[in-house]
Amino acid sequence: MLAFLLIIQISSCTVSQQSTTYFSGSGDTTLILKTDDVEPIIQKNDILSIYISSLNPEASAVFNAPNLLATSSSTTSGSSSAGGYLVNTDGNIQLPILGTIKASGITKKQLKADITNLILDKKLLIDPIITIRHLNYEVTIIGEVGKPIVINVPNEKISLLKALGIAGDITVYGKKDNVMLVREVEGKRKVKRIDLNDKSFLSSNYYYLQPNDIVYVEANKWKVINANRNQQLLPSILSGLSIIALVITTILLRK
């Protein structure tokens, strides 16, 4: 009886090959990556590192006064602290000398241009160089993956596939054809369903993740079936073990 139950349990773990592979049926090809929306839009509550330099280091130094903001962010290796400019609830940042500047809703490239033009218009520096980086660039991977995790992205570029690899990959119980991506854009939360069996994903705007993206991998039907079956089989297995133990005890007592 126990052996029969174990056979049923093992057979219930069978899943289709398609559910365990990416881009099934795809051959050799060359795909053109869409560049639209690849550079993330700056959002409220983002933390930006902004460094201004020029041919005159002394004149530039005043723009790079230490920022009073300090933030701690969780990374794959622990905690780290960094100073930066917080994009406030109005979507603005406060820069020394330059004052209030609109930051949310635009890209880093656009913000660089705005700061550069402001400096040139006021004739504060000659040929200023603006360097902007995200300090809180992180993505979250949850659901049916090997290791749900919040990933800090110091180089500000990470693909969905790489993020899933860091999270231990999608388990055999995860839906590769219906991965949910949650993204906040200008105060609105958008949900996108992604089919990782479709090779067109490799050239889509969702190939690369953006700051604060959340990726959720849903469980497939096999996870639900196995969970229900385990709940049904466990009492039977325990009952069978109890009977075996009782039989062994009876035999030993008769000796």
Q: Look up residue 218 and give its two tokens.
A: 């849903």
Q: Are residues 225 and 207 in the same domain?
A: no
Q: What is the pTM of this model?
A: 0.69
Report the pLDDT averaged over residues 111-140. Answer: 95
3-state SS assignment for residue 102: strand
Non-local (6+) Cβ contacts of 145 within 8 A are: 164, 167, 168, 169, 170, 171, 174, 217
8 inside domain: no
pLDDT exceeds cutoff 60 at 202: yes
> Of 134, 151, 183, at which residue does a domain stop?
134
Report the pLDDT averaged over residues 141-150. Answer: 96
CB 90 within 8 A of CB 100: no
pLDDT band at 147 (very low <50, low <70, confident <90, very high): very high
H helix runs in 82-197, sequence order: 108-121, 160-166
The count of domains in the chain is 3
pLDDT exceeds cutoff 80 at 17: no
Q: Which domain holds residue 233?
A: 221-255
214 inside domain: yes
Q: Are residues 204 and 229 in the same domain?
A: no
> In what helix (H) or strand (E) does residue 58 lie, and over which residues does it extend?
helix 57-61
Which one, of 115, 110, 50, lies nearest residue 86 by Cα? Answer: 50
In tens, the pLDDT along 132-143 reads 999 989 999 999
Q: Are residues 60 and 126 in the same domain?
A: yes
Q: Which residue has the higher pLDDT, 30 or 235?
A: 235
Q: Are residues 75 and 116 in the same domain?
A: yes
Non-local (6+) Cβ contacts of 86 within 8 A are: 45, 46, 47, 69, 71, 93
Q: Which residue has the higher pLDDT, 80 or 159?
A: 159
In tens, the pLDDT along 205-223 reads 899 999 999 999 999 876 6
Q: What CATH number does residue 109 fall under?
A: 3.30.1950.10
Residue 110's pLDDT is 96
Rounded to whole angstroms, how far apart are CA atoms 37 and 51? 24
Q: Are residues 118 and 159 in the same domain?
A: no
Q: Are residues 124 and 154 in the same domain?
A: no
Report the pLDDT averaged over residues 6-17. Answer: 49
Q: Are residues 109 and 66 in the same domain?
A: yes
In tens, the pLDDT along 33-63 reads 555 556 888 999 899 999 999 999 999 999 9
Q: Which residue has the higher pLDDT, 29 or 148?
A: 148
Which one, of 7, 136, 40, lies nearest residue 79 by Cα? Answer: 136
pLDDT band at 103 (very low <50, low <70, confident <90, very high): very high
Q: Look up residue 213 and give its two tokens.
A: 């993206």
